[in-house]
Amino acid sequence: MLEEISFQIRDNFETKNKIREEGLKISREIVRECRTASFALHGKDFEKADSSINAAGRALKKLKSRFKGHADIYHAGFVEHAQQEYSEVAVLYGLLKEEGKIQNLPSPDELGVEYAAYLNGLGDLVGELRRHVLDLIREEAFEKAEVFLGIMENIHAVLMDFDYPDAITGGLRRKTDISRSLIEKTRGDVVNSIQQKKLELAMKSLESRL
């Protein structure tokens, strides 16, 4: 009897381990496609970004279907990480493609991700938006930089509303704190750059009158 029980448990564990290994492989594929999309977006290659995001979305659906009946492995952490990466880049795509318009951003239900993963993806998105704002500053596109700074602040305000235990939000509080720090640095960069530009223009105006 004990041998039969042992065999049944071992068979179950073998199945779970196989599915887990497959899931890890798929999740790494999702993360890789998302990072490819992110680099493409910052390089303004929206076609390549769209292709990678779609590939990540297909892989994510495959991952979810593979874990049916194995909730313990599904919630082990790596699936949520893949969903966070996917949420982050999907929303980034919408923001950069529409040049800061937030009306038609994809929802977690549309993306097929857990709510906590979506919110944590937004937390990580603040860092990507800071990178975009710095690019805009280098291009001296200060008005656009201020628009995206405003989006960063809007995201932080939304995340602040979710004051729930980490067991529910997946550690969102930490990412919210990090996003606040990034926003403060970015605001300083934008303000300093605008002031420096105004000073340069004033100096040129003065030189032209001398």
* CATH T-level fold of 1-112: Methane Monooxygenase Hydroxylase; Chain G, domain 1 (1.20.58)
- What pLDDT score does 206 carry? 65
- What pLDDT score does 17 carry? 87
Q: Are 174 and 144 in contact (CB under 8 A)?
A: no
Kindly state the tokens that stand for 145: 């930089």
pLDDT 10s digit of each residue in the chain, 210 long?
888 899 899 988 888 888 888 888 999 999 999 999 999 999 999 999 999 999 999 999 988 888 777 777 777 778 899 999 999 999 999 999 887 777 778 999 999 999 999 999 999 999 999 999 999 999 999 999 999 999 999 999 999 999 899 889 988 999 999 999 999 999 999 999 988 887 877 777 666 666
Amino acid in position 178 = I
What CATH number labels 114-209? 1.20.58.2140
Torsion of CA 170, 174, 178, 183, to 10 degrees: 70
Torsion of CA 147, 157, 83, 104, to 10 degrees: -50
The answer to whether 88 is annotated as binding is: yes
Question: DSSP string covering 144-171, please?
Answer: HHHHHHHHHHHHHHHHHT----HHHHTS
DSSP state of 210: -
- What pLDDT score does 46 carry? 95
- What pLDDT score does 178 carry? 95
- How many Å apart are CA 54 and CA 42, to the nearest integer? 17
- How many Å apart are CA 66 and CA 78, to the nearest integer? 14
Question: DSSP string covering 95-123, please?
Answer: HHHTTT--TTPPPHHHHT--HHHHHHHHH
Residue 180: partners with Cβ closer than 8 Å, 6 or more residues away = 156
- What pLDDT score does 207 carry? 67
- What pLDDT score does 50 carry? 95
- What pLDDT score does 79 carry? 87
- What pLDDT score does 153 carry? 96
Which residue ranges make up each domain of the chain?
Answer: 1-112, 114-209
Model-level pTM?
0.88
The answer to whether 14 is annotated as binding is: no
- What pLDDT score does 89 carry? 97
Q: Are domains 1-112 and 114-209 of this chain identical in fold? A: yes
- How many Å apart are CA 101 and CA 126, to the nearest integer? 16
